[in-house]
Amino acid sequence: MSKYGCDTEYRARFALTMAHKPVDRCPIDLAGTPLTGIESRKLAGEIAVRLGFSGPPPGDYLPFDRRILERFDVDFRRCGGLAGFDTGTARRTSAVEQVDCFGIRRVFSGKYWEIAEGPLQNASADEVLGYEFPLVGQIPPKNLETWAAEAKYLYENMPYVIVAEHPVWGVLEFACWLCGYDHIMLKFALDPDFIHLLFGKILDFQKAVIREYYGKVGRYVHVTTSGDDFGTQKGPFMSPAMWREFVKPYMKERIECTRQYTDAVYWHHSCGSIFDIIPDLAEIGVGVLNPIQPAAKDMEPERLKAAYGDIMVFHGGLDTQEVLPSNVPGKIVAAVEHLMSVMKPGSCGGYIFSAAHNIQDDVSADAVIRMYEAALRQFP
């Protein structure tokens, strides 16, 4: 029996969803990945109170209040984390500035640590050759042991679909963070050898991390994840032809490497408008694409379902840019009902319900509750 086989109701539902077969209801997600949760602990606490829970969340391996997940009958539980490295080079330079183990400088602005400068900003090919990534031996052994223990515990003691958080960044975003977006975009057009040199080094690093990480957790998870944004609100970062030349081969090899250590379904997150490359993602092994970002060009649920509903499982879709922050109950419920009717979860698989991205703290607790209650009402 495959790991996402019919050993529990949740895992059986997920297997049918992946096979695009009839399901009793579509799987529902909240906090099953690092990109489908609730950004604010304060908001999560308010949701718990509104649902009638008191006291702190139960202490367990889960990164989110299990009482809320159980109330909304969420199908997924998350484990693992982004690999960190004890290099001795990460440092806080001020109250609002820090440099990580890769030499990437971040500045705290608003609510996030924003990338301000990379160590290879405007770098030459020789400087790329000389750049040294952290060694996988510098991943704290305790982290790997903890991730393996939590994955095993969740797999053996809970009936849900277990998701491994991705341990390493995507090749495109990693390159842009190291070198700067403007530098990388110019190199795509003017210096393809530079791109292949840099992406090759990043891939080697990714594969080394993947071997360590999935060697520990791979046997216990049903879904493995990656994130790499290929689009903006109005279109892709680059032409589909350029993406196929420069990004696709490296992503394909990453997926193939991951497959050596786990048979889990491969889930990928990309923000923005990426309509034209969705068949390519399916071709290289992506089974679930997150999100349906309905406000982005050509990413309307109707368009995606009609064009690619037979080759890709879609995840997400409830708008976090306008609908949820409106906090208007009728608007939220109508959006859920419309999304469900388009994706047809009652008659066939191929869709996982969640917000389009992490829910921000401009969304009320009542809005989140109405969203999930409306989703559950769509099923008998």
Exposed/middle/buried for 372, CB within 10 Å: 0-12, 13-18, 19+?
buried
Range of the domain at 333: 9-88+120-376
Domain assignment present for residue 236? The answer is: yes
pTM: 0.95
Give the pLDDT of residue 345. Answer: 58
Average pLDDT over residues 128-142: 96
| Contacts with 342 (C-beta within 8 Å, 6 or more apart), sequence order | 301, 302, 305
Domain assignment present for residue 42? The answer is: yes
pLDDT at 47 over 90: yes
**Residue 182 belongs to domain with CATH number:** 3.20.20.210
Domain assignment present for residue 101? The answer is: no
Give the pLDDT of residue 380. Answer: 66
Output Rg (C-alpha) for the chain, integer angstroms: 20
Question: How many other C-beta atoms are found inside a 10 Å radius of the C-beta of residue 176?
Answer: 21
Task: Say how many Å lie between the first and final Cα of the chain, rounded.
Answer: 29
Eight-class DSSP state of 288: E
pLDDT at 149 over 50: yes
Question: How many other C-beta atoms are found inside a 10 Å radius of the C-beta of residue 247?
Answer: 23
| Contacts with 55 (C-beta within 8 Å, 6 or more apart), sequence order | none
Q: What is the mean pLDDT of the chain?
A: 95
Domain assignment present for residue 115? The answer is: no
Q: How many domains is the chain partitioned into structurally? A: 1
Domain assignment present for residue 172? The answer is: yes
Domain assignment present for residue 325? The answer is: yes
pLDDT at 155 over 70: yes
Which of the two residues, 61 and 175, has the higher pLDDT score? Answer: 175
Domain assignment present for residue 145? The answer is: yes
Domain assignment present for residue 95? The answer is: no
Give the pLDDT of residue 346. Answer: 54
Nearest to 210 by CA among 171, 166, 152, 149: 166
Give the pLDDT of residue 57. Answer: 86
The predicted-structure confidence for 174-218, as pLDDT tens digits, reads as follows 999 999 999 999 999 999 999 999 999 999 999 999 999 999 999
Q: 22-26, 110-114, 346-350: lowest mean pLDDT where? A: 346-350
Give the pLDDT of residue 5. Answer: 45
Residues 52 and 62 sit within 8 Å (Cβ to Cβ): no
